[in-house]
Structure 1
Amino acid sequence: MFDAIPAQLNKNASRYQVSSVLEGERADGILELIAELKDSKTVLVSYHSNDPNAGMSNNKDLARFKLFLCDTGLFTTLMFKDRDFTENIIYEKLLSDKVNANLGYLYENVVAQTLTANGNELFYHTFMNKTSRHNYEVDFLLARKNKICPLEVKSFGYKTHASLDAFTKKFSDRILRRYLIYTKDMKKDGDIICLPVYMTCFL
């Protein structure tokens, strides 16, 4: 399960698909294993909030979760684990933004690590538009005061934020502020605060 974390995030699925990693197992049957991974201090667990509101711990779904790593360097090594060791050229290309790969889930791990380091529990929310049958996902939810702050993480294509907009339309009375975490400079897009990834620590 540990080794499969980057691959599971890259699938862009709404949860960690346990049965594709451990044959015959279901998420609700390995809750003790998930707790052990979390206790190892190497894995971060983000739980689905079934009712995104203040007090999300009361309605988290223990069987719907995503896994991240506490250390993004280790996450990078797992991403490119094609050999016994990861060549330095991979890290050099990552730092110079020259890797021809979808790095969205790498940035999600950076945000997950930063939010956790600042004392936040990790939650996310998925929902479907019943009319269009389109699935939406808000990457992270923060509880602030008696409201929530949805976060969408983008590595590219930041000019559109459909999930954040759909979430706002559905839960407008619960939202304190909206954030887009991306790779550009700080700015505002209407009422959305767009923050570069390195400023996540200030949320």
Structure 2
Amino acid sequence: MQSIYDQLPIMLEGENKRFVLNSIDPKAHYEKYQRDFVWLVDAGVALKADIVTEPKSPLLKSARPSQFKLYQSDTGMLMARYPVGVAQAAYLDSKEPNLGGIYENVVAQQLAAQNRQLYYYQTKKRGEVDFVVDGPDGTAVPIEVKSGSYYHAHAALGHVLDTAEYGVRLGIVFSRGNVERNGAVLYLPLYATWALSDVLGDSCAEGIKLEVKPV
């Protein structure tokens, strides 16, 4: 468990952020360490996002627990484990270094706080969609998290929206940008992650109402 915990921030800085089991043991198999991952999640230390082979609801049907990303349940504690310069870059909204892993961790923490099961989707040709959640209308909702200024580029998200058999009608991009809508893609600022239930219409709670006009 200690080895897994120590590797967590390093894995989030990787290219695809997937937890690589051989980082803790060259001959590691998920079944051998499954209890350790479960313990960290149940203890409220880590958040596990399983890969899905298809972005179709119910997502649990195509989930593969042995392939996953592992986030820390508290982003502040995660940042404390990085060099001081990384924390300063985040606080000062600096463009360097790459804060993609930290931004994803923020969104993962927010989704978990909304009692949403964490999943992600990846294809070799198109790349990765950071998160996929079950929508209230029986369709999946892909979510991208962008830390840079070029947040309109999202090939994997576009592929999901363009694949008719998936039946996806809405994709969401959380970024540094403002609220806008372009076709089936809704762009929201990162701080609006908490309002996702209102955006999707799956919450009865009174909340922010976002008026989005097509670009």
The TM-score with structure 2 as length reference comes to 0.82
The Cα of 1:14 is off from its aligned counterpart by: 6.3
Counterpart check, 1:56 vs 2:53: no
Root mean square deviation, CA, Å:
1.8
CA pair 42-78 structure 1, distance change in 2 beyond 3 A? same
In structure 2, the residue matched to 1:95 is: 91
Counterpart check, 1:78 vs 2:81: yes
In structure 1, the residue matched to 2:212 is: none
Q: Pick one of 174, 181, 198 that aligns with 2:191.
A: 198
CA distance in 1, matches of 2:134, 2:155: 21
CA pair 137-92 structure 1, distance change in 2 beyond 3 A? closer
Counterpart check, 1:39 vs 2:32: no
SS across alignment from 1:30: helix
In structure 2, the residue matched to 1:126 is: 122
CA distance in 1, matches of 2:116, 2:14: 25
CA pair 106-181 structure 1, distance change in 2 beyond 3 A? same
Higher mean C-alpha deviation, range 108-117 or range 178-187: 178-187
Q: Pick one of 128, 138, 161 that aligns with 2:129.
A: 138
CA distance in 2, matches of 1:94, 1:42: 22
Identity percentage over the alignment?
Answer: 26
Structure 2 gaps of 5+ residues are 197-215
- Asked if structure 2 preserves the Cα contact closer than 8 Å seen for 1:31 and 1:62, the reply is no
In structure 1, the residue matched to 2:70 is: 67
Q: Pick one of 143, 151, 166 that aligns with 1:151.
A: 143
In structure 2, the residue matched to 1:182 is: 175
CA pair 99-73 structure 1, distance change in 2 beyond 3 A? farther
Deviations 1:14-48 (A, max 9, x none): 62101022332122331111111111101000001
- Asked if structure 2 preserves the Cα contact closer than 8 Å seen for 1:48 and 1:65, the reply is yes
In structure 2, the residue matched to 1:166 is: 159
CA distance in 1, matches of 2:145, 2:134: 17
CA distance in 1, matches of 2:173, 2:49: 18
CA pair 99-188 structure 1, distance change in 2 beyond 3 A? closer
Deviations 1:54-78 (A, max 9, x none): 1112321110010001100011112
CA distance in 1, matches of 2:60, 2:106: 22
Counterpart check, 1:116 vs 2:112: yes
In structure 1, the residue matched to 2:16 is: 13
> How many positions carry a matched residue from both structures?
191
The TM-score with structure 1 as length reference comes to 0.86
- Asked if structure 1 preserves the Cα contact closer than 8 Å seen for 2:161 and 2:184, the reply is no
CA pair 148-20 structure 1, distance change in 2 beyond 3 A? same
- Asked if structure 2 preserves the Cα contact closer than 8 Å seen for 1:7 and 1:79, the reply is no
- Asked if structure 1 preserves the Cα contact closer than 8 Å seen for 2:173 and 2:185, the reply is yes
Structure 1 gaps of 5+ residues are 81-86, 129-133
Higher mean C-alpha deviation, range 14-23 or range 149-158: 14-23
CA distance in 2, matches of 1:9, 1:91: 15
